[in-house]
Structure 1
Amino acid sequence: MTEFVLVPGAWLGSSVWDEVAAHLRAAGHGTHAVTLAGVADRRGEQPAGQQAHVRDVVEAVEGSGLRDVVLVGHSYSGIPVGQAAGRIGDRLTRVVYVDANVPVAGGSFVTGFPGGGEVAEAVAANGGSWAPPGPEEFDGQGLTPEQTARLLAGATPHPGASLTEPAALARPLEDLPTTYVKCLLDWPEPSAAVAELLTGDTWELVEMDTGHWPMFSQPDELARVLLAAAGHAPGS
């Protein structure tokens, strides 16, 4: 049995994984969805920096004694997930980045994100947190109006410190078995950092014909992708 540790991106809590987790559990595997400090139902736990989020992921694994772990990070959370993956030793089976940022040693979310300067300015103007986007930002992402409404209903401001704190890698990303899931409606090509990692022997690319939030737009297909990444054929 694989233990899937599912980490949401900016603004969102663990409930975004509910439909995906249901598919994984139906296939006989464990699921552990994480809400990061300072977000959603943990919003009061501020200030919360990036390293606090790394600890959240490590604790989700080690605190529950999990083994045969697949760490799954969506969007922003690829940065803490990538760092946590190097810290949990032989508990790790695979990392899966779902349309995610990846950590760069000494770099932050804003330094590696196109338009990161605008994000930093928005955080400063919003009292130190990154406000959720408006509904127009979800246009063209394969979401129904109902899915967009559900996504926004669970979104809260994201702690700005987690976006500016630098990453610290315990192991190089290229040393870890990894699947990168690229959602083609969001942007058809992986970032330059991801493209370089994909040239190595330990990384594989999977494409999904949907937008940036496949846990809402295509949860059943995303679950199949995660099961395949963990080495489980459909129905196994």
Structure 2
Amino acid sequence: MDILLIAGLWLDGSAWDDVASALRARGHRPVPLTLPGQGDGSTSATLDDQVATVLDAVDAASGNPVVVGHSAACSLAWLAADARPDKVSQVVFIGGFPAADGTPYADFFELRDGAMPFPGWEPFEGPDSADLDEDARRTFAANAIPVPGAVATGVVRLTDERRFKVPVVVVCPEFTPAQAEEWISAGDVPELARAEHVEFVDIDSGHWPMHTKPAELARLIAAGTA
């Protein structure tokens, strides 16, 4: 099965190298995506450009692909389900949740010179980064790609309620399945409150399990594709 892999902010497709290798060993065809403005050299990319890249990959996939979104890119995966509800077989969210219609994609940190650079590790101290050693942190920060401002501040637009029928798996790294269910029940994640098929799975990692637990993450991604 084709499995599209969309990394979160500051990352390009290479973030999935170890996960992709493990998925191939399980007989799947992983397709790591490098998004416009996050690894292709563009600095003027928009959220619409990133959505178009994801939809092109969905359309090019063999059969009905699984679409995996990490962190902020959970919204991109959900936008794919919204635009292609009959094509996407499943959505997997890792360490994040989809933004609601009409809300900004990822305006989490200050823009500088038209882009949102990696803000350093202070905002991620605690469970997010506890499993990253100093070398891993230095490598991540050195390779982090500033996110174009028009991506970060782009507005999410969802239009097709058939997206709620697409099965969802929420992989819970720095938070627990119980916490995720509580947030949804409290109304903090309105999109998943309306989704008809939601499964929660735990992984003992920080916010970037593709770096620290790639084999386990690949197993969880593949588990729902049989």
Q: What is the TM-score of this pair, normalised by structure 1? A: 0.82
Q: Is the 8 A contact 2:172 2:203 kept in 1?
A: yes
The equivalent of 2:139 in structure 1 is 150
SS in 2 for 1:92: coil
Task: Determine if the alignment matches structure 1 residue 189 to structure 2 residue 184.
Answer: no
| Structure 1: gaps of 5 or more residues | 232-236
| Structure 2: gaps of 5 or more residues | none
Deviation at 1:139, TM superposition (A): 4.3
Structure 1 170/199 Cα, relative in aligned 2: closer, same or farther at 3 Å?
closer
* Partner Cα separation in structure 2 for residue 150 and residue 157 of structure 1: 15
Matches within 5 A, 1:1-236: 2-40=1-39, 42-43=40-41, 45-62=42-59, 64-110=60-106, 116=108, 119=109, 122-123=110-111, 126-137=112-123, 139-140=125-126, 141=129, 142-172=131-161, 173-184=163-174, 189-190=179-180, 191=183, 192-194=187-189, 197=192, 200-231=195-226
SS in 1 for 2:156: coil
Deviation at 1:199, TM superposition (A): 7.2
SS in 2 for 1:133: coil
SS in 2 for 1:201: coil
Question: What per-residue deviation string (whole Å, max 9, x for no partner) do you get for residues 146-187 of structure 1?
Answer: 332332232111111112221111423422211111213699
* Partner Cα separation in structure 2 for residue 187 and residue 130 of structure 1: 30
Paired letter, 1:219 = P
Backbone CA RMSD of aligned residues: 2.4
Structure 1 162/22 Cα, relative in aligned 2: closer, same or farther at 3 Å?
same
Q: Is the 8 A contact 1:74 1:99 kept in 2?
A: yes
Paired letter, 2:158 = L
Deviation at 1:188, TM superposition (A): 7.6
* Partner Cα separation in structure 1 for residue 176 and residue 43 of structure 2: 30
Q: Is the 8 A contact 1:3 1:67 kept in 2?
A: yes
Identity of aligned residues (%): 31
SS in 1 for 2:83: coil
Paired letter, 1:227 = A
